[in-house]
Amino acid sequence: MLVIDEAQIRSIVKNFSDAEPRPDIYPWVSALRAYGLVASVEPSDGRGYQIHVEGPDSSYLLVGCPVDLPGFTEVPDGFHVEHFSSDGDHIAVVYHSLPDAEGEKPGDSSASALATAVGTYLGSVKTF
């Protein structure tokens, strides 16, 4: 699994494309890390990147908007977080702050709100 760190992301800013992750996504990664979680930006199965957070028993959470993080030309308007088992089976939707069809946002898309929701959720689960 390829893991991209913040220094690598910042080094590509000069030659970016829509498929490369936004450097300004790192406040969310930093907030997750500050909460004590292991978080990184990784390529998704599709086109783009997601935030990957380690969970218990080799499970993991994926953070996207709703699937991939937005490219440089797009503005994130919220996040969607799902928990998966080590086999890739869906366990739960952990957090959702994307607008619905009417434009109403069900949650806060700030870095601190995302980290708190993910950290609280992971603190409440033990094993799968």
Residue-wise pLDDT for 56-97, tens only, equals: 889 999 998 888 877 666 667 788 999 999 999 999 999 998
Q: Which residues contact 101 (CB under 8 A, 6 or more apart)?
A: none
Q: Which amino acid is at 95?
A: Y
In a domain, residue 48? The reply is yes
Q: Compute how many other C-beta atoms are within 10 angstroms of the C-beta atom of residue 25.
A: 22
In a domain, residue 1? The reply is no
Regarding pTM above 0.75, the answer is yes
Domain range for 45 is 6-124
In a domain, residue 32? The reply is yes
In a domain, residue 85? The reply is yes
- Centroid of chain to Cα 56: 17
In a domain, residue 96? The reply is yes
pLDDT tens digits for 1-29? 556 666 665 555 444 444 455 556 778 88
Among left, alpha and beta (phi > 0; psi -120 to 50; other), residue 20 is: beta
Q: How many structural domains is the chain composed of? A: 1
Residue that the structure tokens 């689960």 belong to:
125
Tokens of residue 6, six digits: 């913040």
